[in-house]
Amino acid sequence: MNIINQTLNAILQLALFTLIPFIWYVFSHKKCSGFFQWIGLKKPSVFDRTLLGFVVFTIVAFIVVSIGILYLLKGVDTATSKFTGMGIVGLPSALIYSFITTALSEEILFRGFLLKRLSDKFGFNTGNIVQSILFGLLHGVMFFSLTGIVKVVLIIAFTGLIAWCMGYANEKKADGSIIPSWIVHGIANLFSSIISMFCIIA
């Protein structure tokens, strides 16, 4: 996939995933803060060792989960299959895909919008569990017809657990910023893309 197509895909997906939060913001939010502040697209007020440790732990966990999922899905086309065999030439497109098309779009929708709105309504614990289940379902159900129920349940559980960790890091360690989970998510997706680029799991 060339970089122009990947950039256009990134812009389109980002716009689509931001549309619902933006409409909600326009029609229901008391405008005491800007939209980006409202969804948590802001610098964490504190970036201490605890947050850094939690981010590093979540990145490592996400990468381990990614390896496990890629082994489960061996021989099945995934989102990163488009980078298969591209080598280093695929890196610019993989960076756009990893950090914008998927990570930023999904962080805005799941941790920036759903988690915050659900937490406001039902409390953080319930909100974080619900957003993590929805995140896991998004990543699992698309493989149902390709892999069977057992693998789908594992994918939902693994990705849901990571989503819970990212929600916790954002809300409890980063003052509501989605930057930590964006970094974690982007690095994990880039790792999966690199595995495809260099055919590491054939």
Q: What angle do CA 110, 40, 139 make, to 5 degrees?
A: 15
Task: Report which of 23, 12, 13, 186 is spatially closest to residue 113, judged by C-alpha positions.
Answer: 23
* Position with higher pLDDT, 17 vs 201: 17
Residue 1 has pLDDT above 60, yes or no: no
**Each residue of 142-182: pLDDT tens digit?**
888 778 899 899 999 999 999 999 999 999 999 999 999 99
Residue 19 has pLDDT above 80, yes or no: yes
Instruction: Please state, in angstroms and rounded to a whole number, the distance separating the CA atoms of residues 36 and 159.
Output: 25
Instruction: Please state, in angstroms and rounded to a whole number, the distance separating the CA atoms of residues 6 and 90.
Output: 11
**Each residue of 21-51: pLDDT tens digit?**
999 999 886 667 899 999 999 999 877 888 8
Q: What is the DSSP letter of 199?
A: T
Instruction: Please state, in angstroms and rounded to a whole number, the distance separating the CA atoms of residues 175 and 87.
Output: 38
Instruction: Please state, in angstroms and rounded to a whole number, the distance separating the CA atoms of residues 69 and 79.
Output: 12
pLDDT of residue 66: 84
Contacts of 201 (CB under 8 A, 6+ apart): 67, 70, 71, 74, 195
Mean of the pLDDT values across residues 5-30? 92
**Each residue of 45-101: pLDDT tens digit?**
877 888 888 889 888 988 888 888 888 888 888 888 899 999 999 999 999 999 999
Q: Compute and round to an integer the Cα radius of gyration of the chain.
A: 17
Residue 123 has pLDDT above 60, yes or no: yes
Q: What angle do CA 120, 125, 129 make, to 5 degrees?
A: 105
